Amino acid sequence: MIFHGNSDIGRRRQINQDCFVCMPIWGGEAVLLVVCDGMGGHKAGEIASQKAIAAFCDRIVGNPCFEENPQRERDAVMRQMVIAANEANRLVYKLSHEHEELAGMGTTLVASIVYNNIMYTVNVGDSRAYIVTKREAMQITQDHSFVQYLIKEHKLTPEEAKYYPQKNVITRAIGIGEKVDVDFFSANLVNWGTGYLLLCSDGLSNYMESGDMIRILCNKDAADRAAPKEEVIRKTDQLIALANDRGGADNITAVIAKF
């Protein structure tokens, strides 16, 4: 699997509080992709995202989930990912209560492990994971946000949500409470054929329609076939550039993996 990630400060922020990881794990048998979008005054959000991602990755990297039975494998991966998210939550929460300057800090977290052609994903907050093919861009995760709650309650349409004043208010985050609820999803990538995984912060997703993702990620040319790694790098940069061109009001992070 070919993968790449990049992060940009955007056009209006003074610091970048996003953080990401994309790397092979478990002896190269699996790939780990993670995006965190920190929040908090001064540099607290930056610290929250960095500490959360480090704690999450330490747990995952050190606990490979090799199982012969597919159901046991799924259960093992889910268990480790949920444990890892909770360990990240405990660390960020602890630091925010031990250091006055970090009080109230938190971060979103979205993470995927790709192992044996299965995409396993957890999320807390409104950073997202997508599967993108020529046919569609499917959001795998569900936002933990105020506008998503209003949509679910039929008090707001998806179109109205795009311009809602409290669009960036999230209802769940790493480090805000002693405990956190973690959502888990899985998808068999064989059923999707060829495409891309996209993990991103809301600094990207707020400026993207499904058609934008399909157009940027799934358009092919001769150069792509000759240099697949460079293709993935270029497409990551194109996504970030488009978000900046459309306003760049927040930090922008994108991690993509071609499957």
Among 55-64, 148-157, 201-210, the minimum mean pLDDT is found in 148-157
Helices (H), 6-117: 44-61, 70-98
Q: Domain 2-258 adopts which CATH fold?
A: Phosphatase 2c; domain 1 (3.60.40)
* Angstrom distance (rounded) from CA 187 to CA 97: 37
Are 146 and 53 spatial neighbours (Cβ–Cβ below 8 Å)? no
pLDDT of 8 strictly over 90 = yes
Give the chain's largest Cα–Cα span.
55
pLDDT of 121 strictly over 90 = yes
Query: Tokens at residue 119, please?
Result: 């995409």
Residue 216 has a CB neighbour count (10 Å cut-off) of: 22
Query: Tokens at residue 124, please?
Result: 């807390």
Query: Looking at residue 169, what is its pLDDT?
Result: 86
pLDDT of 200 strictly over 90 = yes
Per-residue pLDDT, averaged over 55-78, amounts to: 96
Residue 225 has a CB neighbour count (10 Å cut-off) of: 9
**pTM, rounded to two decimals:** 0.94
Residue 141 has a CB neighbour count (10 Å cut-off) of: 21
* Angstrom distance (rounded) from CA 13 to CA 165: 19
Question: What type of residue is 248?
Answer: G
Domain boundaries, the chain: 2-258
